[in-house]
Amino acid sequence: MLWSFVSSSLLLLPAISAAPAYLLERQLILRDAGQNVSGSSPVLPQQSEFSGDVTKCEGYSVDSITHTETGGIYATMSLLAECSAYGNDIYHLALSVEYETPERLHVHIYDSALHQYQLDNYIFPRPHATLSGYDASDKSDLKFEYEEKPFAFWVTRKSDGEVLFDTRAKNIPTYDETTQIQGAYSNYTVLPAHPLVFEDQYLQISSALPHRANVYGLGEVIAGSGYRRNESATVQTFWARDVGDPIDENMYGTHPMYMEVRPNDKSKSLPSHGVFLLNSNGMDVILRDGVIEYRAIGGTFDFYFLSGPSPNHVAGQYAKTVGLPQVMPEWSFGFHLCRWGYTSVADTRSVVTRMREAGIPLETQWNDIDWMRRYREFQFDQNYEPAEYTAFIEELHANNQHYIPIIDAAIGILYNDSDSFDVYERGHELDVWMKNPDGTEYIGAVWPGFTVFPDWFNPKMKDVWYEAFYNLSLVVDFDGIWLDMNEPASFVDGSASNSTISLEDTTVVPPDYTPTGPPVAWPEGYWPNTSGLSGNVTVDGELTYGANGTAPKNDALRRRAYTVEIEAAKRQINGYVPSIPYVDEPPYPIRNQAGRLSAKTVSPNATHYGGLQEYNVHNVWGHMEEFATNDVLKALKPGLRPFIVGRSTFAGGGQKTAHWTGDNYSTFAYMKRAIQGVLQFNLFAVPMTGPDTCGFNGNTDEELCNRWMQLSAFFPFYRNHNTKEALSQEPYNWDSVRDASIKAIKARYELLPYWQTLFAEAAYGGAPPVQPLFHQFPSTSYLAIDSQFLVGPSIIVTPVLQPNESTVSGIFPSYDGVFWVDWWTHEKLDTSYGENVTLTLPLGEIGVHVRSGSVLLLYDNAGYTITETREGGYAVLVVLDGKGYAEGVAKVDDGATLPVTEQTCLTFTTKDDACLTSTPSGNYHIDGHLKSITIVGVWYEPKKVTFNGQEVDGDKVEYDGKTGTVKVKGLKVDLNEGWQVKWY
């Protein structure tokens, strides 16, 4: 978490080896001249021995070619001419091309000496190949072709002849002038030439893109352009960073994958493909019209190409490449509540009590760093005395509720000779903390003050980590773990001590981020003379928002105009540690918006087990912590699905962790931006994702929190969380927010069997549970929509994202006769005048519509907790299409165990004979009974309804002629048996 009201200038405090502030400022200007006028200067190298001029680079030529048993090739290549643009030239390269599956092609360009860093298999297991033999290429939909001198390659999708990736310089536009990013000209957008460059600390490769390409991904990012990236002016930096949700900058996670959509007007389809670069080093990826360019400061070019051809195909193929997401425990889909500032067990218990008194379902209570003694991990604050803490969690469990505490990444050291901290001391004994280059412990500073950092590469680290959590579990019977600050974050630049400067003599002073009072910022748009800090919609009958005559609108809703202007043998040789000449200041300064690579994190010269430096593996630090913690939870709670929520993620993280989108802000703009974040991580195969609802930083207000509580009810991960000393935003604080929350959570809990089905399908095939409209409906007019979204194929969500408004315009696709039915009323939406429909949604209402032709398994009645909801039995909702047809599947298991060895699939089908059938298959015994069936789209009142041939009593059948709805209630049906319902 980040205390947002501290000046950002305080975050670059001087430390050992840190540059003076004026040099940092100059360095930033040189590397990204955010000026008012355009220029032609490329990014300057940080050492004078390098030219920074890639126009002098000529690339490589192919020396030899060997055809391999994967249907691909192995080639050797040599440098054509010395270049030294941003590093020392590597003279000899190897090329491996492998046809791994019919949809996936692996192209790897690496140094023949195997000195460049590559992730080991235990960190990132390479995907399994299904193709083999010299004819494997014939079975693939992708084709690799190349030119020998200078070497260039291109990848074609055979099914439509589309060239998906093309590194031939003659096909790629160059740019000698800068263009703007967030209103300032950036040196990083100068692209003067496109040779293949492969140096020890600089790798460059470019590919041609179509004009005005539709590119998605390349995250983690909050893009000013929305979910679709700005193809004319984007510099996406990959360097994990502790920062409060900035726009168009690098932030917590690293996912160097993109999906591109190229509309086919002839077939009226949206052919799509994916490109993933497996590289853990710092990197920039630049988009300008017609080109994508990669610039990495180490590693290799390890590409995976995915043929699609549909967006959902790409998402599934990517998930299978990096690792399918873990199926989540059902309780994790409940409503979660947290705050930095619950300073005692009593405070936390009172919140749980007030939620129940207000009737707002609360599934999981969380605690932020308040539970720790002086913010030190695994030690209890005096206000979280172990016996009382244990009793509180036992109360939660007795009420079928759950509990999650925070664990930050850094481990506090001993304060003095009389201090004792078993976790630090055990790690010190086993020598598992990260090191300075001289072998001493690297000392940073986070919330506890001076800290050390776990070395996940050390095999003994897992023992320390398990012991720490085991001891914690003796007091805190946690159900999941929240991993924060795991970029990893550090509040000082560099290590506070080393072999020449002791901690007692250090000049480093950790900043004090302890808040002393309420933030000065008022809720967005509010006029303090009217509203004060209440955050109410009205005070004494007067509207508070914009009461000074200005009512700011949500600028994030305005579409910004684009600026026009290998096998194990292929990895490291055993025992070899890559040599990095300029580890602290690489010749090419990636566009890390914190400045130096060491700013607000562990320095790149920090050393891991075996001599490996943070420079190469910084971007996987949080990823490795999440995987280690997942293993700990499985050991402590065998057979149960672990639930971890992490901040810093890497490709494949969805196998082990969920993710929240970080320290956002309490504004309507950030509520809207939450949608792109959820869509982004569903593309990245980390589907259990959501924002801090109502905003983390700053003060929320009644209207914003009302709208946001309803919106987040339709995201996978649903948590309200805010910062210390800000305006309280628990949903019981305002009557309207309470009522809106109860309504939205009731719908969410009824939809849980549908959510569970979507996540079961994601865990099996990678289909994203939350999707943009164009994933289901192939229209170019939907490619930029991120103010609406789909939950699976059957639910469309349309929120109000603008303050002081009670209507919203939404797109409701009518492709192939599709229509939409209101979830709340079952009324058919009128699209007879077009797909753009204005909904009337006063405060406390959100647009939720069900697609025609859908059959959904639901819970019959939402209870206070997931357990009570599940015990209440099931319901089925059918929305007939215009021909009387509907279908759907539901995958049901116990919602708890891992691996999932018992599961039953229910297949529902309705045809034009007015008959709904359910066919079960599988080995899980469903305990709950089917209580009701609702069929929408029956435009005559049935004279009778039969169930398995027996007429249903008339008092159990309701008919609404306005919506054409038949409801059969009072049932007690065994879902493990097949059944059918008919209406006449």
- 61 membership: H or E segment, kind and range: strand 60-67
| Cα end-to-end distance, the chain, whole Å | 60
Q: Quick check: 66 and 75 in contact, CB under 8 A?
A: yes
Model pLDDT, residue 912: 83
- Residues 508-519 have a mean pLDDT of 74
Token pair of 917 as six digits: 């059938």
Higher-confidence position of 482 and 572 = 482
Taking alpha carbons only, the member of 864, 894, 890, 895 closest to residue 876 is 890
- Residues 208-223 have a mean pLDDT of 97
Model pLDDT, residue 368: 98
The amino acid at residue 440 is T
Model pLDDT, residue 7: 29
Number of Cα atoms under 13 Å in the Cβ half of residue 402: 20
φ, ψ of residue 409 to 5 degrees: the values are -75, -35
540 is catalytic: no
Model pLDDT, residue 2: 39
Q: Quick check: 763 and 895 in contact, CB under 8 A?
A: no
Token pair of 686 as six digits: 């980390």
Listed in order, strand segments (DSSP E) in 321-390 are 336-337, 364-367
Model pLDDT, residue 12: 29
Model pLDDT, residue 133: 93
CA dihedral 822, 825, 826, 829 (to 10 degrees): -40
Query: CA triplet 176, 35, 10: central angle to 5 degrees?
Result: 130
* Domain 330-515+561-752, CATH number (from 3.30.379.10, 3.40.50.12280, 3.20.20.80, 3.40.80.10): 3.20.20.80
pLDDT tens per residue, range 389-433 = 999 999 999 999 999 999 999 999 998 889 999 999 999 999 999
When pLDDT is cut at 50, 70 and 90, the band that residue 549 belongs to is low
- Min mean pLDDT across 478-492, 498-512, 571-585 is at 571-585
487 is catalytic: yes
- Of the listed 166, 441, 626, 663, which one is catalytic? 663
Instruction: Write the DSSP symbol of residue 564.
Output: P
Model pLDDT, residue 599: 94
Taking alpha carbons only, the member of 278, 276, 299, 117 closest to residue 203 is 299
Q: Over 50: is that where the pLDDT of 569 sits?
A: no
Instruction: Write the DSSP symbol of residue 123.
Output: T
When pLDDT is cut at 50, 70 and 90, the band that residue 34 belongs to is low
Number of Cα atoms under 13 Å in the Cβ half of residue 434: 31
Instruction: Write the DSSP symbol of residue 74.
Output: E
Taking alpha carbons only, the member of 323, 313, 358 closest to residue 337 is 358
Query: Cα–Cα distance between 581 and 297 in angstroms, integer?
Result: 12
Model pLDDT, residue 520: 59
Model pLDDT, residue 19: 41
- Helix spans in 528-586 (H): 528-531
Model pLDDT, residue 6: 29
pLDDT tens per residue, range 48-76 = 999 999 999 999 999 999 999 889 999 99
Q: Over 60: is that where the pLDDT of 14 sits?
A: no
Residues with Cβ within 8 Å of residue 61, at least 6 apart in sequence: 77, 78, 80, 148, 149, 150, 151
* Domain 754-983, CATH number (from 2.30.40.10, 2.60.40.1250, 3.40.50.300, 2.60.40.1180): 2.60.40.1180
Token pair of 887 as six digits: 């279908």
For the whole model, what pTM was predicted? 0.94
The b/e string for 797-829 (b: 16+ C-beta within 10 A; e otherwise) is bbbbbbbbbeebebbbbbeeebbbbbbeebbbb
CA dihedral 749, 753, 759, 760 (to 10 degrees): 160
Give me the residue label for tokens 């990678």: 766
Could you check whether 54-320 and 330-515+561-752 share the same CATH topology? no
Q: Over 70: is that where the pLDDT of 785 sits?
A: yes
What are the structural domain ranges in the chain? Answer: 54-320, 330-515+561-752, 754-983
CA dihedral 429, 434, 440, 445 (to 10 degrees): -100
Tabulate helix, strand, coil % of the chain (nearest 5).
Answer: 20, 25, 50
CATH 2.60.40.1760 is held by the domain 54-320: yes
Query: Cα–Cα distance between 693 and 748 in angstroms, integer?
Result: 15
Model pLDDT, residue 519: 61
Q: Over 70: is that where the pLDDT of 829 sits?
A: yes
Model pLDDT, residue 574: 60
Q: Over 70: is that where the pLDDT of 559 sits?
A: no
- Of the listed 231, 245, 487, 614, which one is catalytic? 487
- Of the listed 200, 455, 484, 786, which one is catalytic? 484
Q: Over 50: is that where the pLDDT of 10 sits?
A: no
Q: Over 60: is that where the pLDDT of 5 sits?
A: no
When pLDDT is cut at 50, 70 and 90, the band that residue 558 belongs to is low
Q: Quick check: 101 and 131 in contact, CB under 8 A?
A: yes
Query: CA triplet 697, 701, 706: central angle to 5 degrees?
Result: 110
SS3 assignment, position 232: coil
Give me the residue label for tokens 């390659």: 153
Higher-confidence position of 777 and 38 = 777
pLDDT tens per residue, range 922-981 = 999 999 999 999 999 999 999 999 999 999 999 999 999 999 999 999 999 999 999 999
Number of Cα atoms under 13 Å in the Cβ half of residue 592: 29
Model pLDDT, residue 20: 39
When pLDDT is cut at 50, 70 and 90, the band that residue 773 belongs to is very high
138 is catalytic: no
Model pLDDT, residue 811: 97
Residues with Cβ within 8 Å of residue 95, at least 6 apart in sequence: 62, 73, 74, 75, 76, 77, 107, 108, 109, 151
Query: Cα–Cα distance between 602 and 598 in angstroms, integer?
Result: 6
Query: Cα–Cα distance between 396 and 225 in angstroms, integer?
Result: 43
Number of Cα atoms under 13 Å in the Cβ half of residue 634: 13
Q: What does each C-alpha distance from 876 to 351, 471, 936 come to in angstroms?
A: 35, 45, 11
Token pair of 392 as six digits: 């509180």
pLDDT tens per residue, range 648-660 = 999 999 999 999 9
Query: Cα–Cα distance between 687 and 319 in angstroms, integer?
Result: 10
Q: Over 60: is that where the pLDDT of 23 sits?
A: no
- Residues 903-925 have a mean pLDDT of 96
Q: Over 60: is that where the pLDDT of 28 sits?
A: no
Model pLDDT, residue 529: 72
Model pLDDT, residue 242: 96
The amino acid at residue 665 is Y
SS3 assignment, position 546: coil
Using CA of residue 971, residue 977, residue 983, residue 984, what is the dihedral sign?
negative
When pLDDT is cut at 50, 70 and 90, the band that residue 8 belongs to is very low
